[in-house]
Amino acid sequence: MHVKTLASTEQTVQFAVTETDYTMHLKLERQTSDLLIQIIGGDVPHYGVITTVDKTGKALTTALPSRPGHVHQEKVLIDQVLKTVKPLITNNAVLVSGMHVNEITPAQMRAAMPMAHELGVALAKWLKAHPDQTQVVTYAK
């Protein structure tokens, strides 16, 4: 499985991996030490599941409705990415995921978690190579 880097700056990076005839993307945007990570792809990229992680590691997930009686299931993709990047979260992180492959096959379903894991590994390497620039925060007295 080969992860491609599509774009990179000091504050952003985009990766993609393609397997079984579909592509999954990971996009990172950093604001100081906060992270916004998007895991999207397939035929209909969207936002279906949101996980927030604070600097203590506490995570909270919301799965939005997908169709009557169902919620989005992309938490499994977020969990794969979090396995590798959670130790590198120094402040707050928001992970958003949404991926739909029309007429998905069993092989395509099996490929999704390894794809997300590989994207997480690529992101962890990038975060280690591009540490955030700690800024002094002051508050009114």
Going by pLDDT thresholds of 50, 70 and 90, the confidence category of residue 30 is: very high
d(CA 92, CA 36): 9
Tokens of 114: 């390894």
d(CA 105, CA 86): 30
pLDDT in tens, 41-60: 999 999 999 999 998 999 99
**Fold of the CATH domain 3-129:** Ribosomal Protein S5; domain 2 (3.30.230)
pLDDT of residue 102: 96
pLDDT of residue 138: 86
d(CA 72, CA 65): 6
Q: Domain limits of the chain?
A: 3-129
Question: 3-state DSSP helix/strand/coil percent for the chain, to nearest 5?
Answer: 25, 40, 35
Phi, psi of 81 (to 5 degrees): -70, -45
Going by pLDDT thresholds of 50, 70 and 90, the confidence category of residue 134 is: confident
Residue 61 region, left (φ>0) first, then alpha (ψ -120 to 50), else beta?
beta
Whether the Cβ atoms of residue 84 and residue 117 lie closer than 8 Å to each other = yes
